[in-house]
Amino acid sequence: MEAPVRPWSQHLANLARAAFWLLLALVLLLQLVGSRGIDRQRSAALGQFERERSSRVIAMIHRQEAASLLGVPVAGSISIDDSEAVLRAIRLTPPEQPIDVILHTPGGLVLAAEQIAKALVERKGKVTVFVPHYAMSGGTLIALAADEIVMDANAVLGPVDPQIGDMPAASIVKAVGIKGPRNVSDEMLVLADIAQKARVQVASFVVQVLLKHMPEKQALQVATVLSEGRWTHDFPITVEAARLLGLKVSTEMPRTVYDLMDLYPQGGGIKPSVWYVPMRRAPAQGGSTAQPSPDTRPEGGGAAR
């Protein structure tokens, strides 16, 4: 009895399925190998920084990382997982050993940021927070716990006024005050009550953090400025503004911190919109053309972040 002859379309379908699974396995393998390679580079950079400063270095860097095996970008922010990891690192550090925290974050969960700030402010050893680009909201709350904040000359901090959902707590309270309690819904009244409590709680916590470095009167003033909602939540607090608030801020950013940031590229495979040649160029003298001097960045084009 002769076996039935399979049509060519079925053979083609089988080949297509086999090619799909082979391609998927290759993509997963490349993701796994690539992530391990970048992890090793990050660990080496952190180890180098620790040796340079004889400190415990903790990096909390939030970008749109390729978080899944298929490279789906997920925006990062301060979470309970972050606070657990940071607190674990602090527990493993001797009390007198300095701690250096490298922060690059848009903020996140208030509870997580407060846990980290409380643990840092209670340290005996010196705590230094490095901000190469920005540390907003909860990131600023953590930076306030440091004995010294080292910022890039163009880096910024931000207000720590609480947000209720996607609305500023201060604006909720103000809206109810303008319209009057009788002219708003019960839901808005509840939100206003929660918003007012959040404002008091955050301001009180900021005062307790700042008392390590400031007299009580100054700590109250700074806490009020940062938490009352006088600015929008993304208002940039520059180096000069931070110093005017009485914060101890330096701009002596170590080169190693910038090198470490290069190991946290924007995820998702999106082509950068800004390109530059990573070379330092000496200023021209007497109208002559200056020769470029090599930078310490990796060779080739780079994307500004």
Q: What is the pLDDT of residue 183?
A: 96
Which of the four pLDDT bands, split at 50, 70 and 90, describes residue 3? low
pLDDT band at 68 (very low <50, low <70, confident <90, very high): very low
Concatenated DSSP letters of 162-231: -EETTEEHHHHHHHHHHH-GGGS-HHHHHHHHHHHHHHHHHHHHHHHHHTTTS-HHHHHHHHHHHHS-SS
Q: What percent of the chain has pLDDT over 70?
A: 76
User: Across residues 79-99, what is the average pLDDT?
Assistant: 96
> 235-289 pLDDT, tens per residue?
999 999 999 999 999 999 999 999 999 888 765 555 666 777 776 666 555 544 4
Report how far residue 99's alpha carbon sits from residue 96's, in angstroms, rounded to the nearest whole number. 9
Give the 3-state secondary structure percentages of the chain, helix then strand then coil, rounded to 5. Answer: 45, 15, 35
Helix ranges, 92-184 (H): 110-121, 138-143, 169-179
**Could you tell me the pTM of the whole model?**
0.77
Tell me what pLDDT residue 85 has: 96
Tens of pLDDT, residues 112-136: 999 999 999 999 999 999 999 999 9
What average pLDDT does this structure show over 131-142?
A: 97
Whole-number pLDDT of residue 148: 97
Specify the pairing of strand 163-164 against strand 302-303.
unpaired
Mean pLDDT in the chain?
84
Whether residue 195 has pLDDT greater than 50? yes
pLDDT at 296: 44
Checking if the pLDDT of 15 tops 80, the result is no
Q: Where are the beta strands (DSSP E) in the chain?
A: 56-61, 64-66, 73-75, 99-104, 127-131, 134-135, 148-151, 156-157, 163-164, 167-168, 249-250, 275-276, 279-281, 292-294, 302-303
